[in-house]
């Protein structure tokens, strides 16, 4: 299913004293990949939230392979794992500019009604765009 790539540079504030990216920042990198995956589909988080839908992460798994360093150009590849229902699952790969695989990851998010806080099915406008 749809694969999207997003690249950015590691900022100094994201690293420790050795210039290595702090492991907790990878969750933000994955979010950046997801946001850009949705944007490439023609959907934004803002438009979903304005429409009353939230998409919280309910599961996050990261396997670290190699360290990312200050000023590295990283690329997050985000791929939809399967057709979303109430949950949407993504697989990720994070590479540096040399093409080294730095991390693999998997997230599960749930479509939630903003007012009730209850799970809902994936909006039709997302399903329709996935079929294009």
For 7-19, how does the pLDDT look when each residue is reduced to its tens digit (9 = 90+)? 999 999 999 999 9
Active-site position among 16, 50, 71, 100: 16
Facing residues of 39 across strands? none
Categorize the per-residue pLDDT at 131 as very low, low, confident or very high, splitting at 50, 70 and 90: confident
Could you list the residue range(s) of the whole structural domain that residue 61 is in? 3-129
C-alpha pair distances (Å), 38 with each of 21, 34, 102, 106, 118: 25, 6, 23, 16, 22
Can you give the pLDDT at residue 2?
82
Total domains in the chain come to 1
pTM of the model: 0.94
Q: What CATH number did the domain enclosing 76 receive?
A: 3.10.129.10
Q: Is 100 among the catalytic positions?
A: no
């Amino acid at each position: 299913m749809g694969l999207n790539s997003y690249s950015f540079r590691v900022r100094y504030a994201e690293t420790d004293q050795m210039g290595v990216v702090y492991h907790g920042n990878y969750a933000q990198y994955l979010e950046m990949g997801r946001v850009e995956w949705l944007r490439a589909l023609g959907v934004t988080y803002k438009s979903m939230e304005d429409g009353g839908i939230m998409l919280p992460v309910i599961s996050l798994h990261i396997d670290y392979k190699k360290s990312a360093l200050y000023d590295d150009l990283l690329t997050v590849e985000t791929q939809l794992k399967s057709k979303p229902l109430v949950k949407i699952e993504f697989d990720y790969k994070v590479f540096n500019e040399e093409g080294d695989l730095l991390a693999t990851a998997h997230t599960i998010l749930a479509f939630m009604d903003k007012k009730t806080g209850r799970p809902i099915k994936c909006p039709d406008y997302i399903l329709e765009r996935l079929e294009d």
